[in-house]
Amino acid sequence: MTTNASLPHIRRAVPADAFALAALGRRTFSDAFAADNDPADMALFLDGAYSSDIQARELADSALTCLVAEQRGVLLAYGLLRTGKPCTFLDDPTAVELQRFYVDASCHGTGLAQSLMAACIAEARTLDAGEMFLGVWERNSRALHFYAAQGFRQIGRQTFVLGTDPQHDVVMARRLHADAA
């Protein structure tokens, strides 16, 4: 957690964050993918994933942990961890999924993504996870490079449906402890 008031503070999201988290999720997902996807598919996906009600349900779900980066009351980034979802490419029942990881475009290149990733990894370790895994669109070269720089390795591929468009994700994983299998 940061102590300098001018730097974003990373904390666990709380129910009162649902509205701001929905807005941040819609904005960051759109910024990352709208230019390369059909507007109707984007709208369908955004409506099904990023409403205040959906965010409130996710924040209440004990299998999910949401970390947010906040500066002066404004959410700038978030990571969503999911326990209990097995990864078909890993033989580790303790593995935690990094289901979402988004940083506002205004914060790209500031080190916020690295700080948030470190917080997500620390949180996964407190859950006694041996590994963390995620799916990233095969055409998202910026994210693929970032995750590789954070120690993630490619372990497989899966389908992700954006609206009605089946797309291909690269599945990546990172060991969280030196003795993890």
Q: What is the pLDDT of residue 178?
A: 63
**All domains of the chain in start order, with CATH:** 9-134 (3.40.630.30)
Burial-class residue 52 by CB neighbours within 10 Å (0-12, 13-18, 19+): middle
User: DSSP code of 136?
Assistant: E
CA–CA separation, 114 and 82 (whole Å): 19
- Confidence at residue 177, expressed as pLDDT on a 0 to 100 scale: 80
Q: Cα–Cα distance between 85 and 75 in angstroms, integer?
A: 27
Q: Which pLDDT score, from 0 to 100, does residue 3 have?
A: 44
pTM of the model: 0.92
pLDDT for 29-66, tens place per residue?
A: 999 999 999 999 999 999 999 999 999 999 999 999 99
Residue type, 1: M
* Measured CA distances, 112 to 44, 54, 109, 117 (Å): 29, 25, 8, 8
- Give the pLDDT of residue 180: 45
- The answer to whether the beta carbons of residues 176 and 130 sit under 8 Å apart is yes
Q: What confidence score (pLDDT) does residue 1 get? A: 41
User: So what's the pLDDT on residue 2?
Assistant: 41
Taking 70 as the pLDDT cut, the residues of the chain under it are 1-6, 178-181
